[in-house]
Chains A and B, each alone.
Chain A
Amino acid sequence: MKFKNKLATNDFIITAELFPPKGTEISTLLNKADILAKVVDAINITDNQRASMRVGSLAICKLLKDRGYESILQMTCRDRNRIALQSDLLSASVLGLENVLILSGDHTSAGEYIGTKAVYDLDTIQLIKAARLLETGVDLAGKKLKGSPKFCLGAVANPTASPLDLQLLMLEKKINAGIEFVQTQTIFDIVQFQKFFDTIRYKNIKILPGVTVIKSVAFMEFLKKLPGVNIPQNIQDRILSAKNPFDEGIQICAETICKLRDFADGVHIMAIGIEEYIPDILKKSGKI
């Protein structure tokens, strides 16, 4: 089913994220996509995540499309000006790609090219509006298009941001600009997410909370250092005292998804390198 149609159902929506490779070896990614396509509604393809240079998300989304899979093209404002961003939106459309997740993108200082020019010519609100404008057959320069695209647009939110009210104002602004779904940054604290969700659910838009598998003690320490990642103490204790932290991480992730099934619109799984375990996690979380 098309992701856009899926959003219109009352089903628990499942998305997962894959990173394009650094280099041209794509068989590993495609193998993972083959595994995921059986259990998720759409596969997000990141856009040079953490400001590291990789294969472009557009190319990978096209490869997934050729295999008959629903993908979500992630598009950041970091690396392209308004000419390139609009051009890539049109390119996505002619390649048959409809789902686009618009985000500002990790700052260049987080990545491999610290001294490079961070573009941010458009911000997320402007890019959402630009995409909606292209759909009307006009571009940002006011020029008419010969044939116009159609998108299913999403954006991100961070339920752990503080002050939260500011994040909610921003989310509402993105909704008003025309997004149809939201994927959030990683949450570990269900209570915190539920509070966030209850504040915004009246907006009648699908919100997919992000979850991540804690693969090891070292990985947990890495996650804790990321902006906005809040791992409750009881979860930290479970990982620290586990005989096998990897299995415990899988179990915790499955439990989180299980709890989300009770009230949330769905889940967005960021397994960061162990995507082949996602079917197992989903199975453990209740239904598949």
Chain B
Amino acid sequence: MIITVQKNFSDLLMQTTDKDKIFIVGCAGCATKCNTGSEAAILEIEENFKQNNRIVSGFAVLDTACDIRVAKKELIKNNNFSEATIILALTCGAGIQAIEKITDLKIIAGLDGLFVGTTERIGVYNQYCSTCGQCIVDKTAGICPVTRCSKGLINGPCGGFVNGKCEVDQEKDCAWVLIYEKLKKTNSVNIIKDTYLPPRNIVKPKNIIYKKKDIKQ
């Protein structure tokens, strides 16, 4: 899921005035799981606004804010949304840009989107995938060095690993040591030496349009 963190409240406050009617949009998807765009998060931020002489006209937690159809359906009929003078989006950037399609009002980004996260447990999320568009993990023991090696090296480690840790952050595992240890379990460490991965093609599409016949419902 998309991992988000909330921006500083004071920065959000500065973008509003006491004349504004603020409408807050949350998301029941990833941002609710991160507790950054959930109803609870919205209520907390609404309270903070009120304490700072701001008017919150209403809020909505969209089922999936990144779906333009959902944003349209759930917001356009909402009277409080129609009366608002400014929108605060507690969604990822994809969500904000679905909301942008249906309003000309100023939208304040309430969250920073960080990465596509793998959940270890509630509240602990790791970036294991960069959605680079050219997955190579079938050649790297299921562990992505593009994302998890600090230098994104795909043909093996640099000389900076010490006791399995990365030279950049001694708390962080060296991705290549993880790959090596995993391959050792199947006696296949030579894959590291014998597999050459050519320079990656980093051009990837910005949109995908499937033909109707290819979509299996």
Bound Cα distance from A215 to B149, whole angstroms: 33
**Neighbouring B residues of A163 by C-beta, 8 Å:** 164, 177, 180
Q: Looking at the assembled complex, report how far the CB atom of A228 sits from the nearest CB atom of chain B, in whole angstroms.
A: 5
Complex partner residue of A121 from B190, B198, B199, CB under 8 angstroms: B199
**Contact (A169, B151) CB under 8 Å given A161-B159, A163-B164:** no
Complex partner residue of B164 from A78, A140, A162, A169, CB under 8 angstroms: A162
Complex partner residue of A158 from B159, B168, B170, CB under 8 angstroms: B159
**Neighbouring B residues of A160 by C-beta, 8 Å:** 162
Complex partner residue of B176 from A162, A166, A177, CB under 8 angstroms: A166
Is the C-beta of A157 less than 8 angstroms from some C-beta in chain B? yes
Is the C-beta of B93 less than 8 angstroms from some C-beta in chain A? no
**Contact (A123, B154) CB under 8 Å given A163-B177, A173-B192, A227-B167:** yes
Bound Cα distance from A107 to B192, whole angstroms: 22
**Neighbouring B residues of A236 by C-beta, 8 Å:** none
Interface residues in A103-134 (C-beta closer than 8 Å to B) = 103-104, 106-107, 109-110, 118, 120-126, 129-130
Please, what's the 1-or-0 string for A156-200, where 1 marks a CB less than 8 Å from any CB in chain B?
Answer: 111011110111011011001100000001000000000000000
**Contact (A169, B192) CB under 8 Å given A110-B168, A163-B180, A227-B167:** yes
Bound Cα distance from A125 to B200, whole angstroms: 13
Q: Looking at the assembled complex, report how far the CB atom of B185 sits from the nearest CB atom of chain A, in whole angstroms.
A: 14
Is the C-beta of B80 less than 8 angstroms from some C-beta in chain A? no
Is the C-beta of B157 less than 8 angstroms from some C-beta in chain A? yes
Bound Cα distance from A72 to B208, whole angstroms: 48
Bound Cα distance from A156 to B160, whole angstroms: 11
In the complex, which residue of chain B has the Cβ closest to the Cβ of A167? B159
Please, what's the 1-or-0 string for B194-212, where 1 marks a CB less than 8 Å from any CB in chain A?
Answer: 0010110010000000000
Instruction: Assess whether A126 is in contact with B199, with CB atoms less than 8 Å apart.
Output: yes
**12 residue pairs bridging A and B, Cβ less than 8 Å apart:** A104-B158, A107-B150, A110-B168, A126-B198, A158-B160, A162-B161, A165-B180, A169-B156, A169-B189, A227-B161, A228-B161, A228-B167
> In the complex, given contacts A107-B151, A120-B152, A170-B193, what are 19 additional A-B residue pairs having Cβ atoms less than 8 angstroms apart?
A77-B151, A103-B158, A103-B159, A104-B159, A118-B151, A123-B155, A125-B156, A158-B159, A158-B160, A161-B162, A163-B180, A165-B189, A166-B189, A166-B192, A167-B159, A169-B190, A185-B159, A227-B161, A228-B162
Q: Which 8 A-B pairs have the closest CB atoms?
A: A158-B159, A125-B155, A227-B167, A104-B158, A170-B156, A123-B153, A169-B193, A166-B180
Measured CB to CB, the residues of A under 8 A from B are 77-78, 82, 103-104, 106-107, 109-110, 118, 120-126, 129-130, 140, 156-158, 160-163, 165-167, 169-170, 172-173, 176-177, 185, 227-228
